[in-house]
Amino acid sequence: PHNHQHHQSGWTSGQGTPSSQSLSTRRELYERDFPVYKQPVEVGCFSLDSERRFFNDGRQMRYYVEPDRNPHFDLRDGYRDRFIKRDDSVKEKLDHILRWVIANRSKLKSKVPSASSSALDVDFVTWRGHLTKLLTTPYETREGWMLAVTRFGGTLYISEVETESARRERENRTERHEEMMYWGYKFEQYTCADTVHALPDPGGVVNTNEAFCTVVQTRLADHRLLFSGEVDCREKDPEAPPPPACYVELKTSAEICTPKQRSNLHRFKLLKWWAQSFLPGVPRVVAGFRDHEGVVVSVETFHISKISHLIKNEYNCWKPTVCMNFCCEFLSFVKRIATEDSHRVVYLFSWEPYKDVTYSVHRDSQYSFLPQWYIEEITR
Ligand code: A3P
Ligand code: MG
Ligand code: MG
């Protein structure tokens, strides 16, 4: 049984008197039993092509081809002459997910006969990446976030707003950083084929407009979630389990030469890798370890279900239960604050490291993000 005497709420005010207007992110407040997180179910998928056009199908799916344990993949190859980079100054907000919802709303329609036509039978619609940021918040010391929330037809839509400091960093990346961001995509090209029977083509063009996205439904405690996330590839074995259990997440990371470096991987990188893949139920991450020249020298598989055991040997390490309990409390906080049901209203939740989550309310502002076409389609 839960020990209610020791269960402190994260809802606080600056003075320590409970006013419920902000949410604490202190780790100690979220160390309790793991909340109910239902096995995520894939309810659909969509693809974005080389020009970022939406398709309600899996045409951009790729197939994982197991590389040599000690390959010599040159991740710098093609950066100058075979790279088409997505324009990340274009903010797509929830648009692609909303397109998917419009094309698949029969799958989501409320079973309550009296419910309005716009009722979706979920509490939250968002990107997996936004939830990843929530999961890692109690351990994040560098980057804050802003999340815009609109309640519409009873559903809460969550869409990220770029912070001032994130915009500054994006506009002032060094040439080295720009190139290193390419390395992750180049690793995908070395390990993924376009069809079940094909092989990877390291001589092709890397185009980061292309994406295959899964759409999953699940529940965190009493929060019914619908979210989408980009998936790198799937196992090609026809005997492989159905999605999302056949999906594989690909990562690159600096080569590990010392116990200290291994410890840092566990303490910092595995937190992000775990959060990103645990949410949609992707069972494994394949990591390519590269040297300073961008050559992958070894490949290792990390099973998501084993990561919590791996990190238990680290002193003062992150805990999955803290991540999930914080996310759950944040969603409860949002439900309690974002009460007015209107596409014109945005509740803007903001967080900076070492501070509490706060919010502000905006009507007909620059923050509104539900497009007119969505409002019209869904209320038809
Ligand atoms: P790596 O993570 O292997 O470096 P993802 O792993 O989520 O599929 O993303 C693919 C690649 O996109 C990453 O590969 C990285 O190169 C780039 N990328 C993703 N998120 C990023 C971020 N927040 N900042 C910089 N690069 C990012
Ligand atoms: Mg990816
Ligand atoms: Mg990846």
Give dist(CA 89, CA 69) in Å, integer.
Answer: 37
Q: 112-120: list long-range contacts, CB under 8 Å, 24+ apart.
A: 115/154, 116/153, 116/154, 117/378, 117/379, 117/380, 118/152, 118/153, 118/154, 118/378, 118/379, 119/153, 119/154, 119/155, 120/153, 120/154, 120/155, 120/226
Which protein residue has the closest C-alpha to ligand 1 atom 26? 181
Give dist(CA 327, CA 227) in Å, integer.
Answer: 14
* Least distant ligand from the CA of 285: 3
* Least distant ligand from the CA of 186: 1
Taking ligand 2, which is a single-atom ion, which protein residues have CB atoms under 5 Å away?
A: 230, 232
Span from the CA of 316 to the centroid of ligand 3 (angstroms) = 27
Are the beta carbons of 198 and 29 closer than 8 angstroms?
no
Are the beta carbons of 271 and 136 closer than 8 angstroms?
yes
What is the pTM (predicted TM-score) of this model?
A: 0.95
CB hemisphere CA count around 96 (13 angstroms): 27
Give dist(CA 212, CA 230) in Å, integer.
Answer: 6
Sheet holding 192-193, edge to edge: 73-74, 295-303, 284-290, 247-254, 233-234, 63-64, 192-193
For 86-130, the three-class secondary structure string (H helix, E strand, C coil) is CCCCCCCCCHHHHHHHHHCHHHCCCCCCCCCCCCCCCCEEEEHHH
Q: What is the ipTM of this complex?
A: 0.95
Q: Which of the listed residues 132, 176, 178, 181 should we mutate to test ligand 1's pocket, taking the one with most ligand atoms within 8 A of CB?
A: 181
Full pLDDT tens readout for the chain, 380 residues: 343 444 567 765 444 444 589 999 999 999 999 999 999 999 999 999 999 999 999 999 999 999 999 999 999 999 999 999 999 999 999 999 999 999 999 888 766 666 676 679 999 999 999 999 999 999 999 999 999 999 999 999 999 999 999 999 999 999 999 999 999 999 999 999 999 999 999 999 999 999 999 999 999 999 999 999 999 999 999 999 999 999 999 999 999 999 999 999 999 999 999 999 999 999 999 999 999 999 999 999 999 999 999 998 899 999 999 999 999 999 999 999 999 999 999 999 999 999 999 999 999 999 999 999 999 999 98
Among 215, 216, 201, residue whose Cα is nearest residue 41:
216
